[in-house]
Homo-oligomer: A and B are copies of this chain.
């Protein structure tokens, strides 16, 4: 078989390890050939490919990013988009099947294309860990590690200056990164989109920590908005690039805390450093296994399936299983964490 691989959506540590795992397993176990489809669906739509012989994936599992590029191209748009055109392009390129590595949007598109008869298997990718039907996704552990290490640093400065430090982490819709990094760093408050919390409650947690002589550490996911203050926090909206405005929730939160408690407060937006660079060992191993399993699925012609982590096993689930629901932080996990606040 000749298999195309694409990586789609935001960058995520472990993409290269998936690619390497797929290529090595495919070549050594099955004798497959591989091409990289450049920049996500764009490469498939436009037929823009690069050969992926074994030498090309040499040593890349520890490199962040993706050697085949990524983008947010929609495969149903443009004059060469849609299942019929893509099918023709695949035939022209001699591509028998596609491994699509991406998040919700990518998997939804893959499902539609598979339903239309294309040969696709999926690998779930989300730095935010918000895809259902998989225990974890690669990249998440790296993001949590980077955020935790940054918070370890912020804390010492908070304590030297008797300040409240606010760390804004990724998570527009879900708070997994905030929850895990906040627990790991011993945060005094963790604020996530799934949970309504008032500023009064936030200030109470901050005040409790300060009373015990600690420098309060507040972790906030970028998508959180305080209960009852939606307006004040949402006015700034998106900037001219369509991104959440810097001076976003973290900055506003620090201002609110300082105004209410009198405790000097500072915000740090961790931003893009959470999604780049060397993956953790956990993510490298997981990503390698997922890439290998994706090729097994292709070889079994398990179209419409994605590979997934369940406990310590890699299994297959239909695309739909990942698309039914956003995987939110369950209330129980938040309550567990909240015991440690204040």
Contacts and interface: CB of A to CB of B under 8 A. Distances in A.
Interface of A: 7, 11, 13, 15, 20-21, 24-25, 28-29, 39, 54-55, 58-59, 61-66, 69-71, 135-136, 141, 144-150, 152-162, 165, 180-181, 183-186, 212, 214, 239-241, 245-247, 251, 255, 258, 266-273, 275-278, 280-282, 284-285, 288-289, 292, 310-312, 336, 339-340
Nearest to A15: B160
Copies of this chain, count: 4
Contact of A285 (B65, B180, B241): B180
6 contacts: A7-B160, A59-B155, A69-B161, A144-B281, A184-B282, A311-B311
A233 B11 CA distance: 30
A104 to B, nearest CB: 18
Given A59-B155, A184-B288, A269-B271, 8 more contacts: A61-B184, A64-B156, A65-B156, A146-B153, A152-B278, A181-B281, A184-B284, A245-B247
A150 B157 CA distance: 18
A292 B161 CA distance: 25
Contacts of A145: 280-282
Contacts of A258: 241
A339 to B, nearest CB: 6
Contacts of A280: 145, 280, 282
Contacts of A246: 246-247, 251, 267, 269
Contact of A340 (B24, B59, B150): B24
A282 B340 CA distance: 17
Contacts of A312: 135-136
Contacts of A183: 284-285, 288-289
Nearest to A287: B184
B155 A276 contact: yes
Contacts of A276: 152-158
B186 A59 contact: yes
